[in-house]
Chain A
Amino acid sequence: MENQTLLEALVAKLGAEKGQIAYDKIMAIKGSAVKKEK
């Protein structure tokens, strides 16, 4: 899933400010998962 689509879905559910925060936290966890695989 494209990141932009995920962000738009979160903004639709949570509003712009909360949506961006939730998106950043999701990406931070996905990012750490990628780092562990290396």
Chain B
Amino acid sequence: MKEFRIQKLFNWQIGSERLIRKYVADLYQTGVTAPVATVLANNTDVAFTYDYIGTGTYMVTSSKPLFTGPNGQKVQATITNATYIDNIAGPIGQSITIFPVFDNVMIILTTDLTTATDAILGNNTQNAIEITIYP
């Protein structure tokens, strides 16, 4: 007698589960210009735009409100490889922080571990912004 295994390969086969939605984009920034985002995945139905504010300070604006409070609710925003150390003996590197300031605005701060600095995002390592929206 033959056995048949049914594997779930696609999300549409799990009709009762609500999707976790995700936006992922590689970021690259240099000079005094806004970060350039190369979108790797986006099933959020939300568009994101980037602005240069000042040295090491950038703004991410979403086309729909994501954060209902200053700490955010059911939305997680992270940047991969946010901390990078080039030389452990005499550390030089980077730190990247992202946090919401309004329901549709986030701020990204970048430093060289000492002071606010441009040309951090995507310059030393791959830095992907990941915004996950939980149901």
Contacts and interface: CB of A to CB of B under 8 A. Distances in A.
B105 A22 contact: yes
A13 B107 contact: no
Nearest to B99: A29
A16 interface: no
Given A29-B109, A30-B109, A22 B51 contact: no
Nearest to B57: A6
A34 B107 CA distance: 18
Contacts of A30: 109
Contacts, number: 40
Contact of A1 (B55, B70, B97): B55
Contacts of B51: 13
Interface residues of B, number: 16
B27 interface: no
A5 to B, nearest CB: 6
> Which secondary structure dominates where chain B touches chain A?
strand
Given A26-B109, A29-B109, A21 B59 contact: no
> Which secondary structure dominates where chain A touches chain B?
helix
A15 B127 CA distance: 29
B97 A29 contact: yes
Contacts of A9: 53-54, 57
8 contacts: A1-B57, A6-B57, A9-B54, A13-B59, A14-B59, A18-B102, A22-B105, A25-B101
Given A1-B55, A6-B57, A18-B102, 9 more contacts: A1-B57, A9-B53, A9-B54, A9-B57, A13-B51, A18-B105, A22-B105, A22-B107, A25-B99
